[in-house]
Structure 1
């Protein structure tokens, strides 16, 4: 019997899903809330209200913070056009799949009206299998093979406000080798 790999998985705290996306992607606690707050301050210095995070200091980091954090580790983000078939993604070239999906804001069990937020989470390969590392899950969700993972991602993109970002190395972004013209190959 094969030993399954240890999968690093941070659980949701406050509104720190952007932080959890990064650490779950890198499979270690590489970034802290303070690190991401510092990035926010570099992106928009000398402002009382920082547009890149929650006013309350709970997190809710935007894509600019995630992009900057990834760039500090020499990685790039590619926005995937959800109108395309996910099978055109050359998954061998992808470090991780970041999803941004709508989510309700709740106080306990009560949904707060007019408080809709977007939630970040990452899907990535650990060992031979793909995992959904959503910080709202109690543990990593094994998605399985490449085909099963792409089916999962495709299903998530059916929600009108969902987005997919591909984490790649700079040379992959530059040469476009993340994309296959023929999704069947």
Structure 2
């Protein structure tokens, strides 16, 4: 790979940039992710309606804003997970029982999607190193980690 793909973040669209960095290309737009979020919202609405459309819970649910996206452009983990499925990729939470039961060795993984203080970013393996691209409104930055440092970084991020 001659270069590392990374986009400058606009607004709070870190989920879009996180996914595109993972895939190393411009594959997702805000419209794509909004469409996934709306689909998830509709599925949630239908599940809530099963309990009765006249129920207090259902009426309260309808008054709530989307849990899958907000007006700033922030998207939920569910949106990211569904977007990855389009590519045949599965998101497994690092601190989940499923991850631990699979006894996955982080060194063998190709990428991690992280969230720190409501900001999504990717740590991706390229060759024998991991890269983390970060986006700010005024600059973009790429950090290159050794495998061991990347694992230590992830462990500390989870704490």
With the shorter chain as reference, the TM-score category is: 0.7 to 0.9
More helix by share: 2
Contact 1:123–1:132 at 8 Å: present in 2 too?
yes
Tell me the C-alpha RMSD between the 2 structures.
2.6
Partner SS, residue 134 of structure 1: strand
Q: CA deviation digits over 1:72-127, x for unaligned, max 9? A: 11110111228x8xx962432x231111112xxxxxxxxxxxxxxx1111100123
Could you tell me the TM-score, scaled by structure 2's length?
0.73
CA distance in 2, matches of 1:6, 1:126: 11
Higher normalized contact order (CA 8 Å, seq sep 6+, divided by chain length): 1
User: What is the rounded CA distance, in whole Å, between the counterparts of 1:126 and 1:37 in structure 2?
Assistant: 29
Structure 1 residues without counterparts, runs of 5 or longer = 103-117, 159-185
- Contact between 2:133 and 2:140, CA under 8 Å: does it hold in 1? no
Unaligned runs of 5+ residues in structure 2 are 46-61
Note the alpha carbon deviations across 1:154-173, whole angstroms, 9 max, x for none. 22223xxxxxxxxxxxxxxx
User: How far apart are residue 5 of structure 1 and its match?
Assistant: 3.8
User: Aligned partners of 2:150, 2:158: CA distance in 1, in Å?
Assistant: 13
Aligned mate of 1:17, from 9, 14, 17: 14
Task: Please say if 1:130 is aligned against 2:146.
Answer: no
Higher CA-based Rg: 2
Q: Matched residues in 1 for 2:2 and 2:150: separation?
A: 17
SS in 2 for 1:6: coil
CA contact (8 A) 1:19 1:36 kept: yes
Instruction: For 2:144 and 2:106, locate their aligned partners in 1 and report how far apart those are by CA, in whole Å.
Output: 20
